[in-house]
């Protein structure tokens, strides 16, 4: 099992890196977690339900005003070079624009939407959320930037507004038309819990996942397995899927696929065409699976939850076509490994991770089986839910 660097260690590393880079100590800091989505995939931009959990992998940002009209940001993350950028403080007349290096666009996008009136500052960003691993590395960078800016300027945002601002940054500066799930859970995660999010009303329900008094028996765990195949979502696939969904909704005469049902889809099958029909089938069934899964957790029907997870994977693989051979291979391995209730690919797809519901006592054995049978090198974690983003006292 992967041993994850603790948050205090990560913060210390970030403070030291800042001091080395800028020659003084940082004054303000922030952290924002990554996430794993338990079920409800590619439903958020269809106004549906999602069920993510914030995980103890974080982006951390520390810094201070520098008394100049320059903003200087550095990172130690494994990103495209250069690892340090410098630009003029933005103004209404001279707003920020996207450019190279790409990693800085997440930071610039948030800055752009946060304020046009900010003094020069220096900051350092560190993250142990694997890049392109489907655990929301980009949302955690956006949310940590926004939380850092709140700490720096004293201006604070409502959590939902903060998540929406970060989503807008991703749309406008990273060209990725994502839904709201990742930014939302990074802002609003709760310790030992997952969050059922209604992506239409933005209402949330906290479902506790650990301990004797909880909704899930404490003898189960969520095992996250990184296939170590990097996904690349800003490519054409994600916007294409989104486009197919919007087309389906339009042809069905509904606002979004949240309002569609199986009968309506079947009735319009010819008009939709096979591809759009399949996308619709996935989304409509996945929204239903997500609410059923939460009910199953609340009623401790773990076999049922496991079944729903497997069904979700098959639907993502065959109908939505966003899986890849390595993710399928990992799910296949878990299917024949004792102690696994169910598993599925998690996140946008085309690489990244699977999430499996397992008997906690058998997790080490299951990990062993995965390492033995997977054709590439997997990284395995067991996570509990953690709280969402916050400022940190340095
Ligand atoms: C990515 C997007 C999310 C969501 C998932 C798929 O992570 O950022 O908004 O659409 O894919 O569920």
Q: For the chain, what are the domain ranges?
A: 7-201+386-392, 211-383
The answer to whether residues 308 and 39 touch, using CB atoms and an 8 Å cutoff, is yes
Q: Is 316 in the pocket of ligand 1 (CB under 6 A)?
A: no
**pLDDT value at residue 218:** 57
Which of these CATH numbers, 3.40.50.300, 3.40.50.1970, 3.30.230.10, 3.30.70.940, describes 7-201+386-392?
3.30.230.10
The two three-digit tokens of residue 87, written as one number: 């630009």
Please choose, from the candidates 117, 173, 120, the residue with its C-alpha nearest in 3D space to the C-alpha of residue 142.
Answer: 173
**pLDDT value at residue 196:** 98
- Return the sign of the alpha-carbon dihedral for residues 14, 16, 20, 24: positive
**pLDDT value at residue 211:** 41
Catalytic site residues?
182
- How far is the centre of ligand 1, averaged over its atoms, from the C-alpha of 282 (Å)? 15
What's the pTM value of the predicted model, to 2 decimals?
A: 0.96
What's the topology of domain 211-383? Alpha-Beta Plaits (3.30.70)
- Is 243 strand, coil or helix? helix
Q: Is 178 in the pocket of ligand 1 (CB under 6 A)?
A: yes
- How far is the centre of ligand 1, averaged over its atoms, from the C-alpha of 320 (Å)? 13
The alpha-helical segments, DSSP class H, found in 82-236 are 103-114, 137-153, 159-173, 181-188
**pLDDT value at residue 213:** 40
**pLDDT value at residue 197:** 98
**pLDDT value at residue 82:** 79
**pLDDT value at residue 215:** 46
Residues of the chain with pLDDT under 70: 210-218, 232-234
């Amino acid at each position: 099992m992967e041993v994850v660097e603790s948050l205090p260690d990560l913060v210390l590393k970030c403070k030291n890196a800042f001091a080395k880079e800028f020659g003084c100590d940082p004054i303000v800091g922030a952290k924002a977690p990554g996430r794993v989505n338990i079920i409800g995939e590619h439903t958020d931009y269809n106004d549906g339900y999602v069920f993510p959990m914030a995980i103890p992998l974080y982006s951390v940002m520390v810094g201070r005003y520098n008394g100049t009209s320059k903003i200087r940001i550095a990172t130690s993350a494994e990103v495209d070079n250069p690892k340090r950028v410098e630009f003029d403080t933005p103004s209404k007349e001279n707003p920020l624009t996207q450019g190279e290096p790409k990693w800085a666009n997440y930071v610039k996008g948030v800055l752009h939407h946060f304020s046009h009136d900010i003094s020069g500052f220096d900051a350092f960003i560190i993250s142990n959320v694997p890049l392109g691993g489907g655990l929301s590395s980009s949302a955690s960078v956006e949310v940590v930037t926004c939380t850092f800016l709140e700490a720096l300027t004293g201006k604070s945002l409502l959590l939902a507004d903060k998540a929406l601002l970060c989503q807008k940054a991703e749309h406008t500066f990273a060209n990725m038309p994502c839904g709201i799930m990742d930014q939302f859970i990074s802002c609003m995660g709760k310790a030992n819990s997952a969050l059922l999010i209604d992506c239409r009303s933005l209402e949330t329900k906290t479902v506790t996942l650990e301990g004797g008094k909880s909704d899930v028996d404490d003898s189960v765990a969520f095992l996250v397995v990184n296939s170590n195949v990097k996904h690349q979502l800003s490519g054409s696939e994600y916007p294409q899927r989104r486009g197919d969904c919007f087309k389906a909704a339009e042809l069905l005469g509904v606002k979004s696929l949240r309002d569609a049902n199986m009968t309506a889809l079947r009735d319009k099958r010819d008009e939709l065409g096979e591809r759009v029909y399949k996308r619709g089938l996935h989304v409509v069934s996945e929204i239903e699976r997500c609410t059923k899964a939460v009910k199953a957790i609340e009623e401790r029907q773990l076999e049922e939850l496991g079944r729903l997870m497997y069904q979700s994977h098959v639907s993502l693989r065959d109908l939505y076509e966003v899986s890849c051979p390595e993710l399928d291979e990992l799910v296949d391995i878990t299917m024949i490994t004792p102690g696994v209730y169910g598993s599925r690919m998690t996140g946008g797809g085309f690489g990244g991770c699977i999430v499996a519901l397992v008997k906690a006592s058998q997790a080490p054995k299951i990990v062993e089986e995965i390492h033995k049978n997977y054709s590439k090198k997997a990284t395995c974690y067991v996570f509990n839910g953690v709280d969402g983003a916050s400022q940190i006292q340095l």
